[in-house]
């Protein structure tokens, strides 16, 4: 078959050649009946049943909308600014067991998330490996963990970071905006 468009005179001749062919009486009804018999066409639903289904669906949507939990109003949109909170160890060994501190940090992060602020974090191992560049003369302080927080501005992130249990253990938090 040729995919080229028709020329104007070909198109005119084709439209004049079209002849409407009437269907035999009852052909439409017989076709619909045959399709229903083969299960290819469902029977018509009664308008009242459709109306009741629509009302039930609207009521269900309203109930879900009213009872759904709402996020905090201070949360930025998901594509808003994000910040990393780098956790550096203090000069004194922290008190309590490492597992107790992990649970406390996790509870703090759940509380922050419960207020509608997206947050995630990880603890880093003490062991690290460096590639490239020169070896520094003085020992380099490495972060022991981090949190990533989505917030509308730096002031909000500083308020959140000031409640982190890391500060109670003598640690230091450095905040950097993620670009």
pLDDT for 165-177, tens place per residue?
999 888 899 999 9
Strands 172-178 and 82-88: antiparallel
- What's the number of domains the chain is made of? 2
Q: Is residue 135 part of a domain?
A: no
Element containing residue 124 per DSSP (H, E): none
Rounded to 10 degrees, the C-alpha dihedral 168/115/123/148 comes to -110
With 80 as the cut, is the pLDDT of residue 145 above it? yes
Q: What pLDDT, on a 0 to 100 scale, did the predictor assign at position 70?
A: 53
Same-domain check for residues 59 and 99: no
User: What's the mean per-residue pLDDT of the chain?
Assistant: 80
Residues 34, 119 share a domain: no
Q: Looking at the structure, tell me whether residues 89 and 113 fall in a common domain.
A: yes
Range of the domain at 34: 28-67
3 state DSSP class of 120: strand
Taking only the tens place, the pLDDT of each residue in 150-166 is 999 999 999 999 999 99
Identify whether residues 53 and 105 lie together within a single domain: no
Same domain for 51 and 87, yes or no, is no
Mean local confidence (pLDDT), 53-69: 69
pLDDT digits (tens, 9 = 90+) for 112-128: 999 999 999 998 888 88
What whole-number percentage of the chain has pLDDT above 70? Answer: 78
Q: What is the pLDDT of residue 48?
A: 65
88/62 same-domain check: no
The DSSP element (H or E) to which 100 belongs, if any, is helix 98-114
Q: What is the pLDDT of residues 68-92, one digit of tens each?
A: 665 544 444 456 799 999 999 876 6
Is residue 39 in some structural domain? yes
More confident residue, 144 or 44: 144
């Amino acid at each position: 078959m040729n995919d080229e468009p028709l020329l104007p005179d070909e198109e005119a001749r084709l439209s004049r050649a079209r002849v409407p062919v009437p269907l035999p009486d009852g052909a439409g009804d017989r076709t619909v009946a045959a399709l229903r018999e083969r299960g290819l066409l469902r029977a018509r639903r009664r308008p009242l049943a459709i109306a009741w289904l629509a009302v039930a669906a609207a009521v269900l949507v309203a109930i879900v909308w009213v009872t759904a939990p709402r996020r905090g109003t201070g949360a930025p949109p998901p594509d808003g600014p994000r910040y990393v909170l780098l956790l550096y160890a203090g000069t004194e060994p922290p008190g309590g067991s490492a597992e107790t501190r992990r649970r406390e940090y996790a509870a703090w992060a759940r509380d922050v998330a419960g207020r509608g602020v997206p947050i995630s974090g990880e603890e880093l191992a003490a062991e690290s490996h460096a590639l490239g560049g020169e070896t520094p003369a003085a020992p380099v302080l490495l972060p022991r963990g981090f949190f990533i927080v989505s917030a509308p501005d730096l002031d909000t992130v500083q308020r959140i970071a000031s409640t982190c249990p890391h500060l109670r253990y003598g640690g230091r938090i450095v905040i950097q905006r993620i670009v």
